Structure 1
Amino acid sequence: MGAVTNITPVVSKIYCFSSQTTLMVRRRPQIVNGGGLVVMNSNQKVVFSVDGCGILGVKGELILRDGDGAPVLFIRKKGGVVQALSAHNRWNSYLMDYERPSKLVFSLREPKSRLLTKSAIKISIDAKENGKDGNFEVKGSFSERACTIMDRRGNVVAQVGLKETMANKDFYHVVVQPGYDQAFVIGVIAILDNIHGESTRC
């Protein structure tokens, strides 16, 4: 028997696989069908999709769906006076239960100021934490398709990159390491896409 891979579910263990997985992400044209993202596996099968403002009609809200189109995560940019005064934007991601948001599963903190942009984006999966340190962080440049999601121990969770033969940033790959939650990874990618004003944003 082979070694058992440690499973790190955030959304669900059903999205955690024992082998490294390469997912291909394609941005949908906003003009044609409202934008968003389509995520395929190595067999060209759609495993996730992301609806953004062009489809939902609301800024700062995203829905991650599985390959069958069922909603998995509802993602919302937090608003309000306290958030307006904060140095960071906060994104909360909720499990979808009977088509409605339910349990908070992770929060992402994005620096507002350009002076803070060198700070890593922090992600917390513990609702009791204030997210200052976070359980995960994003390093590198998403806009250049060269960034890494890491856990707090410094282990690589997933890497975003472009294939050497392709210079088109509308089509890129995400390599998810064994045992990590692919739905969580794509949820983070969806937020990064919106932060950088790409396909999920109006």
Structure 2
Amino acid sequence: MMMAKAIIGKVYCSTAQKVLVVRRRPNVVNGGGFVVMDCSAQKVLFRVDGSFVPGKKGDLILREADGGALLLMRPMGGMVQALGVYKKWKGYTVDYHGSRKLVFSLREPNSCLVKNNAIRIFTRSRGCDFKISGYFPDKCCAIVDSKGNQVAQVEIMKEVQEFMESKELYHVVVKPGMDQAFVFGVIAILDYIYGESTHC
């Protein structure tokens, strides 16, 4: 069994592999987003909301099933970011007092000068860094750890593929011990980067 990688919290790590379904919500006034459901239990686990607050463009919030904010993802702005070789995002946990703690950062190549153009994720835990392998818009990609192990796989549901041309419904296979909240925080950022449901 894989050792638990509790980046957001141990409560989001399962001892068994999980197949979770992502369903896109329509882009409406509240900024759109998506819902994550457990296939076996038929219940909502997470919800991702895109920001609709003026001046907060790009802010994403991962919420628990009860609506409580769990993770805030925010793009880094400014001139340095615009001129840099990377675009950066930061992921913060949010507690009930409203205070934030940085838990991961995501780095997306912003220039053709970058030799390795993989999207990389760096966590506060030593030896717990990741990269994206594959292409998210095709719903054919994986989150891979620093040892080369796939910890989560994004795929189109085969049962749905023949009936739907769009990629509004897909599934994510999360390996045992991997933090599901972290996985969907990363997926929320990928969704935004590629102009999908959270991008309004």
TM-score surpassing 0.5? yes
Q: How many residues were matched structurally?
A: 194
Could you give the per-residue CA deviations for residues 67-126 of structure 1, whole angstroms, max 9, x where no partner exists?
A: 111100011000122222211110000010226241100000011236759721100003
Residues 117/182 of structure 1: CA separation in 2 closer, same or farther (3 Å cut): farther
Number of the residue aligned with 1:27? 24
Alignment of 1:163 with 2:160, yes or no, is: no
- Whole-Å separation in 1 of the counterparts to 2:115 and 2:190: 13
Number of the residue aligned with 1:138? 132
TM-score (norm 1): 0.88
8 Å Cα contact 1:28-1:34 kept in structure 2: no
- Structure 2: runs of 5 or more not aligned: none
Residues 182/143 of structure 1: CA separation in 2 closer, same or farther (3 Å cut): same
Match of 1:126 among 124, 141, 150: 124
- Whole-Å separation in 2 of the counterparts to 1:198 and 1:100: 28
Look up the SS of the partner of 1:143 in the other structure: helix
8 Å Cα contact 2:132-2:144 kept in structure 1: yes
Residues 65/56 of structure 1: CA separation in 2 closer, same or farther (3 Å cut): farther
Task: State the identity %.
Answer: 50
Alignment of 1:148 with 2:142, yes or no, is: yes
- Structure 1: runs of 5 or more not aligned: none
Q: Which runs of 4+ in 1 moved over 6 A?
A: none
Output the amino acid matched with 1:26: R
Please show how residues 10-159 of structure 1 align to structure 2 within 5 Å. 10-31=7-28, 34-42=31-39, 43-53=41-51, 55-57=52-54, 58-98=56-96, 100-113=98-111, 119-126=117-124, 135-159=129-153
Output the amino acid matched with 2:93: L
Output the amino acid matched with 1:36: G
Look up the SS of the partner of 2:186 in the other structure: helix
